[in-house]
Chains A and B, each alone.
Chain A
Amino acid sequence: MGMAAAESRFHVLAVDDNIIDRKLIERLLKTSSYQVTTVDSGSKALEFLGLHEDDRSNSVSPSISTNNHHQELEVNLIITDYCMPGMTGYDLLKKIKESSSLRDIPVVIMSSENVPARISRCLEEGAEEFFLKPVRKSDLNRLRPHVMKAVSKDQKQEKHEEEKQEEKEIKSQKHQEQQQQQHQQQLSPRPSGNSKRKAMEENLSPDRTRPRYSDIAAVV
């Protein structure tokens, strides 16, 4: 299977303890040309996402779950039932939003009960949408903007994380240089500079960081 096929379809993780609802949401998502993975509990969802519940109790650094997160199939959206035994959809939502590696994945909550307090609680906690069950085909149209938003946000965040990494690697003196250079870059009237820089940063791996700096230093 080519990579293009995987890229053309966004991947949704659907969480529901009810087997019939799992079938239904899977089919609904597939007819809207999403790639779908279904799991029957919140803890299995976290496992799939590479976040283990004991991560926080042990002093495992959060970067480990970040690494696990980059699995072969990235999750672009999570849709979860609210009422599940053990971990509820709300609990799952909170865990995702508390995780530095997962919090940018949009979460949509489904519930068969129309309880306004429940809906607002989920939205306050960072859910993008609240679907009343049974979910209908027309509801699915509301997913795409959140997926798209998250995809562009994700790219920005990657950049941000790389910048943070650079800060750690390059200590005080170099850090100052960096600021000066960035300042100069902003001032320099090169129209192509920005997009070029963006393209570079998108493909940037941490070990390419240093060469880039020597490049800039050479220019200055």
Chain B
Amino acid sequence: MEVGQMQRRLVEFTKSLFMEGFLDGQFLQLQQLQDESNPDFVVEVVSLFFQDSEKLLNDLTSALEQQNVDFKKVDAHVHQLKGSSSSIGAQRVKNACVVFRSFCEEQNLEGCMRCLQQVKQEFYLAKNKFETLFTLEQQILAAGGSIPATEITSF
């Protein structure tokens, strides 16, 4: 694939991530913090998000498996995940966390179990999307091209 074609693909793909609500404006903020002095900032932070969130999801799963579920503890984990996803602009993960927290408040175990599945699903979906995005970027760079800037106008 030639560079121009890859660049167009990246632009289209990024646009679709915003259109489908996977990403919000916070991701653009993240991109703005990346410069020559810190060329891998976005990848670094998002990778950190993957690691940290997988740990949180494991903690959540075991917390909800307890005989007596400590909803405060569950809520604390969801709060963390909500904060992280919000900070990187993973909007759908964040939204799923918001619903999750309302069930924690109600101490609704069934609701919490459903939300955990929902959050997991959104998380792995987001992970796939980010990985595709970063792979596209790497391919462009490897072919000697530059990464086209994300258009900010509509978001």
Contacts and interface: CB of A to CB of B under 8 A. Distances in A.
Q: Considering residues A20, A28, A83, A85, which has the most beta carbons from chain B within 10 angstroms of its beta carbon?
A: A20
A34 to B, nearest CB: 14
A70 interface: no
Contact of B84 (A20, A28, A136): A20
Contacts of A112: 79, 82-83, 86
Nearest to B82: A112
A20 B32 contact: no
Given A27-B33, A31-B33, A137-B29, A20 B82 contact: no
A19 B46 CA distance: 11
Contact of B52 (A19, A133, A134, A137): A19
Interface in B27-81: 29-30, 32-33, 35, 38, 41, 44-45, 48-49, 52, 76, 79-80
Contacts of B26: 134
A31 B29 CA distance: 12
B87 A134 contact: yes
A24 B87 contact: yes
Contacts of A137: 29, 32-33
B38 A20 contact: no
Contacts, number: 48
Contacts of B119: none
A114 to B, nearest CB: 12
B76 A21 contact: no
Nearest to A81: B83
B83 A19 contact: no
A21 B44 contact: no
B48 A20 contact: yes
Contacts of A21: 83-84, 87
B115 interface: no
Interface string A102-143: 000000000010000000000000000000011011000000
A134 B29 contact: yes
A202 B96 CA distance: 56
A180 interface: no
Nearest to B88: A20
A23 B45 contact: yes
A23 B26 CA distance: 14
A133 B86 contact: yes
28 contacts: A18-B83, A18-B84, A18-B87, A19-B48, A20-B45, A20-B49, A20-B83, A20-B84, A20-B88, A21-B83, A21-B84, A21-B87, A23-B44, A23-B45, A23-B48, A24-B45, A27-B33, A27-B38, A27-B41, A28-B33, A31-B33, A31-B35, A85-B76, A133-B86, A133-B87, A137-B29, A137-B32, A137-B33
Given A133-B86, A134-B87, 17 more contacts: A17-B80, A18-B80, A18-B84, A19-B48, A20-B45, A20-B49, A20-B52, A20-B88, A24-B30, A27-B33, A27-B41, A28-B33, A31-B33, A83-B79, A112-B79, A137-B29, A137-B33
Interface of A: 17-21, 23-24, 27-28, 31, 83, 85, 112, 133-134, 136-137
Interface of B: 26, 29-30, 32-33, 35, 38, 41, 44-45, 48-49, 52, 76, 79-80, 82-84, 86-88
